[in-house]
Amino acid sequence: MILQFPPNGRRERSGLVKAGREIEVESFRIIDEEMGRHSFANDQWQIIRRIIHTTGDFDYANRLRFTPDAVASGIEALSKGARIYADTRMIQAGLSPWRLEWHGNEVVCPASNPRSLELAQKNGVTRTLAAFRDCAHDLDGAVVAVGNAPTALLEVIRLIREEGVRPGLLIGVPVGFVRAEESKNALQEVPEQPSITVLGRKGGSSVAVAIIHAILELAEKIDAR
């Protein structure tokens, strides 16, 4: 399944009404105040702050890990209209249409393709793993977001290592107890791939959405200069 929101010639800065924007601004002010001084680069802090805003959990400030080129690579990919490949329809549904409109980014959930079920059953693997393996040739330059399925993240890592696939940005934040932490540790062992991850068991689709929203906001601010 693909969601596409092509630019319509009228670039809306925000899909939030005035009251909603005021609440968001005040929320960010409170987060900044409670966080206090920190050593994060400004672009990284924009991502961490939005995750805290989404989850209400300041512990993410201790758990987020970025490769040095992660944010810049994500901004470049999304500003050029790169597709976003998501492991869950929750990510697909959670991304704001008005933010996606800024650069015409499509959102693809490979596991929604009925073919992925057939391949998973045939090969004895999870559906998300089969789905990402099946669309490997489409991942170069794309933003890949994994919020739920560690097996999908491990498969993308394998594709990077063994088949030379190179996403523009890999967001690996699967939540859970079975292979979630292992998959995120494995991602940190691929430093040549621009990536963002969360240490430990925490994460989820909502965290992946928050990261993408933050990078879309950063890309739009640069574009608006």
Q: What total of structural domains would you count in the chain?
A: 1
Instruction: For residue 96, give the 3-state DSSP assignment.
Output: coil
CATH code at position 145: 3.40.50.10230
Provide the domain limits for residue 111. Answer: 2-6+61-224
Instruction: For residue 125, give the 3-state DSSP assignment.
Output: coil
Q: Is 53 a catalytic residue?
A: yes
Residue range 129-166, pLDDT digits in tens: 999 999 999 999 999 999 999 999 999 999 999 999 99
Q: Which of 38, 53, 103, 213 is catalytic?
A: 53
- Which residues, in sequence order, are bridge partners of residue 85? 108, 144
φ, ψ (nearest 5 deg) of residue 65: -130, 130
Domain membership flag for residue 147: yes
Residue range 76-106, pLDDT digits in tens: 999 999 999 999 999 999 999 999 999 999 9
How far from 109 is each of 98, 112, 143, 225, CA to CA, in Å?
19, 6, 12, 32
Distance CA 129, CA 53 (A): 30
How would residue 17 be classed by pLDDT, with cut points 50, 70 and 90?
confident
